[in-house]
């Protein structure tokens, strides 16, 4: 397509678009078969697939939000690094607060009435895009067929219900899946999924409304919060659980310090710094920038859960991109 047509469709000046598109061709996203004419590559054509729509929302979120936050990270470290694990939500400050000039927490900000249409709804869709390809891998780690008619599985912070709907397709008939999240998110989810029960719930205010469920499930929730705030989230679940209830946490379990120790020489550094380290490193930096939080090691998960009365029973999928930590009341 000629740059003039792209410019017209995008509503952007040609000279700006040429710089952008030529930079993308350097990393095999688009190509320029003739001067000022651009075409898809096998990589960029994926962007036109309707199945990729939610992932496009994730990319737009990262460009529009995460990249902006990154520019304020060093200033945030100077101001608040020593308070990382020792504050509650009202006092939490991060690079996000500096970048967006707000005292609100990230989630309160994107779900506020004035911001939900630009940030909140797109973030919800983006999380579907991030999760879709990983769902089967994660759920294959755990046997969901052990639950029986009348049992309840509560997906806390379950967003639009795409995770809960996947679980609903794996359990026996009669097992109820309850998806809990903020009211605005729940309303959006009800228009998408009918195989789960949606329930508004703010895990910072009030008791867990579902008592004695077989499973309380947290997926990619606790990595968004420092330790002390995680304890605030976990305590109501501990109080709601019966002796045979399980807490399932789907998160990364980052390997310990010995895994990261590389660089005896240049070759060791090049050979040792592979995709797994890069992925875990980026994830941890992202959590730190936006939330003053982190991805946790096995020892850190044990310490956190023990501090609020849980014992780790088993960890499924240590070597995978995500793990499931099964815990029970001590």
pLDDT band at 232 (very low <50, low <70, confident <90, very high): very high
270-273's contacts with Cβ under 8 Å and 24+ in sequence apart are: none
Neighbour count for residue 194 (Cβ, 10 Å): 11
Pick left, alpha or beta for residue 30 (phi over 0 → left; psi -120 to 50 → alpha; otherwise beta).
left
Residue 308, token pair as written in the block: 């609020």
Distances (CA, A) of 226 to 32, 43, 230, 291: 46, 37, 6, 8
Condensed to tens digits (0 to 9), the pLDDT of residues 267-284 reads: 988 888 888 888 888 999
- Looking at residue 127, its pLDDT comes to 86
How far is Cα 222 from Cα 142, in angstroms, rounded to an integer? 20
- pLDDT > 70 in the chain, percent: 98
- For residue 228, the cross-strand partners are none
> Which residues are designated catalytic?
223
- Looking at residue 131, its pLDDT comes to 65
Cβ(249)–Cβ(233) under 8 Å? no
- Looking at residue 76, its pLDDT comes to 95
- Looking at residue 320, its pLDDT comes to 65
* Residue 258: its H or E element: helix 257-260
Cβ(254)–Cβ(296) under 8 Å? yes
- pLDDT > 90 in the chain, percent: 77
**Backbone dihedral angles phi then psi of residue 179, each to the nearest 5 degrees:** -105, 120
- Looking at residue 272, its pLDDT comes to 85
Condensed to tens digits (0 to 9), the pLDDT of residues 168-182 reads: 999 999 999 999 999
**Backbone dihedral angles phi then psi of residue 17, each to the nearest 5 degrees:** -65, -40
Condensed to tens digits (0 to 9), the pLDDT of residues 113-164 reads: 999 999 999 999 988 876 666 677 778 889 999 999 999 999 999 999 999 9
Does pLDDT of 34 surpass 70? yes
Does pLDDT of 262 surpass 90? no
CATH architecture of 1-48: Orthogonal Bundle (1.10)
Instruction: Give the pTM.
Output: 0.87
pLDDT band at 319 (very low <50, low <70, confident <90, very high): low
CATH architecture of 146-329: 3-Layer(aba) Sandwich (3.40)
Does pLDDT of 237 surpass 70? yes
Does pLDDT of 228 surpass 90? yes
- Looking at residue 134, its pLDDT comes to 67
What is the pairing mode between strands 197-200 and 176-181? parallel
List the chain domain ranges.
Answer: 1-48, 50-140, 146-329
- Nearest Cα to Cα of residue 96 among 117, 114, 75: 75
Condensed to tens digits (0 to 9), the pLDDT of residues 40-97 reads: 999 999 889 888 888 889 999 999 999 999 999 999 999 998 887 788 999 999 999 9
């Amino acid at each position: 397509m000629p740059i003039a047509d792209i410019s017209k469709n995008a509503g952007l000046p040609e000279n700006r678009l040429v710089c952008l598109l030529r930079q993308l061709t350097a990393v095999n996203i688009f190509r320029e078969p003739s001067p000022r004419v651009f075409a898809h590559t096998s990589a960029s054509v994926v962007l036109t697939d309707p199945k990729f729509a939610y992932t496009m929302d994730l990319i737009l979120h990262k460009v529009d939000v995460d990249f902006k936050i990154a520019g304020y990270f060093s200033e945030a470290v100077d101001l608040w690094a020593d308070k990382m694990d020792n504050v509650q939500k009202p006092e939490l400050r991060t690079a996000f607060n500096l970048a967006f000039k707000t005292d609100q927490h990230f989630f309160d900000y994107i779900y506020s009435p004035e911001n939900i249409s630009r940030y909140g709804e797109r973030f919800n869709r983006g999380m579907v895009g991030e999760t879709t390809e990983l769902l089967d891998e994660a759920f294959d780690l755990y046997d969901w067929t052990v639950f029986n008619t009348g049992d309840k599985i509560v997906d806390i912070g379950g967003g639009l219900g795409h995770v809960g709907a996947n679980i609903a397709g794996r359990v026996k008939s009669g097992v109820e899946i309850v998806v809990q999240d903020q009211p605005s998110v729940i309303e959006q989810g009800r228009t998408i999924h009918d195989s789960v029960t949606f329930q508004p719930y703010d895990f910072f205010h009030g008791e867990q409304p579902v008592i004695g469920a077989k499973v309380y499930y947290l997926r990619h929730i606790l990595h968004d919060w420092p330790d002390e705030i995680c304890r605030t989230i976990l305590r109501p679940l501990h109080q709601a659980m019966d002796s045979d209830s399980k807490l399932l946490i789907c998160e990364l379990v980052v390997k310990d310090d010995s895994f990261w120790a590389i660089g005896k020489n240049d070759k060791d550094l090049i050979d040792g710094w592979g995709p797994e380290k890069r992925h875990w490193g980026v994830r941890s930096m992202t959590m730190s920038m936006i939330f003053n939080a982190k991805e946790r090691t096995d020892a850190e998960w044990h310490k956190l859960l023990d501090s609020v009365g849980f014992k780790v029973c088993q960890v499924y999928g240590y070597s995978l991109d995500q793990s499931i930590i099964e815990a029970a009341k001590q």
